[in-house]
Amino acid sequence: MSEPVLAVRNLTVVLEERGHRVELVRDVSFEVQPREKLGVVGESGSGKSLSMLAIMRLPPGPPIRVVSGEVWCGGRDLLRLDERELRSVRGSEITMIYQDPLHSLNPVMRIGDQVAEALTAHGTRAAEARRRTLEVLHEVGMPDPERTVLGYPHEFSGGMRQRVMIAMALALSPRLLIADEPTTALDVTTQQQILDLVGRLHERTGMAVVWVTHDLSVIARLVDRVLVMYAGGVVERGPTTALFGAPQHPYTADLLGSLPRPGGRERTPLRQIPGAPPQPGELPPGCPYEPRCGEALERCRRERPPLLPREAGEAACWVPPEQWTSEARQTALSKC
């Protein structure tokens, strides 16, 4: 196997205030191979977005900080680079697009200047930056790029602004794109257009993609492998087809079981996951999912499971699926 585009090792992010430390992300590890599409899925508050911001060295800042781990990209550990070295990696090796492009774009700066700035910051000459700006705006499907470069963010729709963000991200032809729920604020039709756009760009450029979302339907058709997060940690990871066909963690099975069943003529009540995720700093001593899990044993209450090998992937669960007694897996499988 070739060298990973991104290798994250035991990443831990904490909230530290007045001598009190709360772990928000715990020992997250994963790799992204060249040209691979990796999905990161979980409920709100599971640590998905915070993990990605930590990888980019863009956490919200004190009192939130990275306390341990390694993030290898291009042969360098991003967590050990100084600001000048880090700026040379962002954009050229690894880049990121966010949920809300309106808050990511400068409201008083023309679109063309913002895209060109991403290029000139990495040493591209002004004339070449202007040419490349028009080129990438055309690549992401912006109508009339020559006119677009003169506009301001508020003059465009949410979908068009997201296309501008993608253009900025791709301007320097990075090896890895992190997409942090970029379709959340968009209508269904525009969501599909952005998904199709990223898919086409992935095929044409060969860049790797990390797609962060809570939408399992997006994950199912978009990525090669899936990383499932819960309460700040990874609970399952494996190939998409294997994970959707035979989930290895009860949380994954419950997520799949809560999806509407396709093709059914009659609408049936959606299956709900009981309870709520634990608050940071209030995790149970054993498995974080134990209070909500229909498969929990006494050991689950006492010992936190590591990621254990399971069929094609790994799952942080003491109880293998063949020993599950609830209908969680059966419900999930019936909907795949």
Asked if residue 263 has pLDDT above 70, the reply is: no
Give 275's contacts (C-beta < 8 A, 6+ positions apart): 291, 292
Give the burial class of 335: count Cβ atoms within 10 A of its Cβ; 0-12 exposed, 13-18 middle, 19 or more buried.
middle
Kindly indicate the confidence band of residue 272, based on its pLDDT and cuts at 50, 70 and 90. Answer: confident
Asked if residue 262 has pLDDT above 70, the reply is: no
Look at residues 250, 240, 296 and name the one whose alpha carbon lies nearest to residue 273: 250
Look at residues 163, 88, 86, 96 and name the one whose alpha carbon lies nearest to residue 124: 88
CB 190 within 8 A of CB 134: no
Characterize the bridge pairing of strands 176-180 and 94-97: parallel
* Ramachandran angles phi, psi of 264, nearest 5°: -75, 135
Q: Which residue has the tokens 């700066």?
A: 109
CA distance 11 to 277: 21
User: What's the whole-number mean pLDDT along residues 276-298?
Assistant: 93
**Average pLDDT across the chain, whole number:** 90
- For a pLDDT cut of 90, what percent of the chain falls above it? 70
Give per-residue pLDDT as tens, 114-157.
999 999 999 999 999 999 999 999 999 999 999 999 999 999 99
Helices and strands per DSSP (H, E), number in the chain = 13, 12
Secondary structure class of 153 (helix, strand, coil):
helix
Q: Which residue has the tokens 């254990």?
A: 308
Give 188's contacts (C-beta < 8 A, 6+ positions apart): none
User: What's the whole-number mean pLDDT along residues 234-259?
Assistant: 92
Distance of CA 16 to the CA centre of its chain: 24
Give 84's contacts (C-beta < 8 A, 6+ positions apart): none
Q: For the residues of 35-53, what is the DSSP string, one character each?
A: T-EEEEE--TTSSHHHHHH
